[in-house]
Amino acid sequence: MLQGLLVLERPLVFFDTETTGINSRADRIVEIACVKIHPDGRREAWVRRFHPGIPIPPAATAIHGISDADVASAPRFRETAAELAAFLEGCDLAGYNIVGLDLPVLRTEFLRAGIPFDISDRRLVDAQRIFFSREPRHLAAAARFYCQAEHDGAHGALADAEMTLRVLAGQLVRYAELPHTVAELHDQFCAGLDQDLDPEGRFRLVNGEPTVNFGKNRGRLLKDISREEPGFLRWIIKGDFSESVKAIAKKFLPEGG
């Protein structure tokens, strides 16, 4: 569907999650669906449901239709985290509002599972950001606008991922000025966004600059901390922080530490 519209240098995975809520640090994934598009056009799908380890609120069930009973015998995320990480290895990521919810909640789940999941070298394509920059609406409206289709499967993870794929294809056809490479789409619509650099949110990109997001140094640029107060970075590296947080601190620690 994307052949001839988007240049892929490596596989691009469209993914969508259904969760217990919208707090990316506290809520859990109950379903995830991934559709991998290879540069040669081949497609693969990876779909799983999980027992979230906490009750699914009725308000969440009302949206995605998944109840506690539906996942009572499902595995926990950590049981298949390594398999999912392998499926996503070496891939760029795409979806609808993945920057706002799906990617943060996924990174937090990998952190809980103890599975490294680095996104620093991955390019992101968020069809919602393209859509909102042109025609502010939700995914169902995007489906009608770009695909002339009703999104009957709304809020089912696989249906949402598949529809997002169709929407992006429609956007690339409709807007001739849009870039046709993943790298350029990332740079135009997703690069430099204010977003957490680590799953815990200890560091954050603000206007494209890595920034401290906790404690007395909240809001300070890491490059300034590196120059003016490297002891703060050493404290993080030796302290009770996750390996992903320590890795970022190490990057900014001056040579010789």
CATH number for 12-181 (one of 3.40.120.10, 2.140.10.10, 3.30.420.10, 1.10.3720.10): it is: 3.30.420.10
Q: What is the pLDDT of residues 201-251, one digit of tens each?
A: 889 887 778 899 888 888 899 999 999 999 999 999 998 888 889 999 999
Q: What is the pLDDT of residue 80?
A: 97
- Is 122 or 135 the better-scoring residue by pLDDT? 122
Q: In the numeric block, which tokens belong to residue 196?
A: 């957490």
> Which of 20-24, 76-80, 112-116, 210-214 ranks highest by mean pLDDT?
76-80
Give yes or no for residue 76 having a pLDDT over 60.
yes
Instruction: Give the number of other CB atoms < 10 A from CB of residue 167.
Output: 25
Q: What is the pLDDT of residues 137-184, one digit of tens each?
A: 678 888 888 898 888 766 689 999 999 999 999 999 999 999 999 999
135 — pLDDT class (breaks 50, 70, 90): confident
Give yes or no for residue 193 having a pLDDT over 80.
no
Instruction: Give the number of other CB atoms < 10 A from CB of residue 126.
Output: 25
Give yes or no for residue 53 having a pLDDT over 80.
yes
Question: Lowest mean pLDDT: which of 13-27, 33-47, 101-115, 144-158?
Answer: 144-158
Q: What is the pLDDT of residue 136?
A: 56
Q: What is the pLDDT of residue 192?
A: 65
**What average pLDDT score do residues 28-46 get?**
96
Give yes or no for residue 32 having a pLDDT over 90.
yes
Q: What is the pLDDT of residue 151?
A: 83
Average pLDDT, the chain: 90
Q: What is the pLDDT of residue 5?
A: 92
Q: What is the pLDDT of residues 84-133, one digit of tens each?
A: 999 999 999 999 999 988 999 999 999 999 999 989 889 999 999 898 88
Q: What is the pLDDT of residue 20?
A: 92
**pTM for the whole structure:** 0.68
Is residue 52 within 8 Å of residue 71, measured between CB atoms? yes
Domain spans in the chain, listed from the N-terminal domain onward: 12-181, 203-252
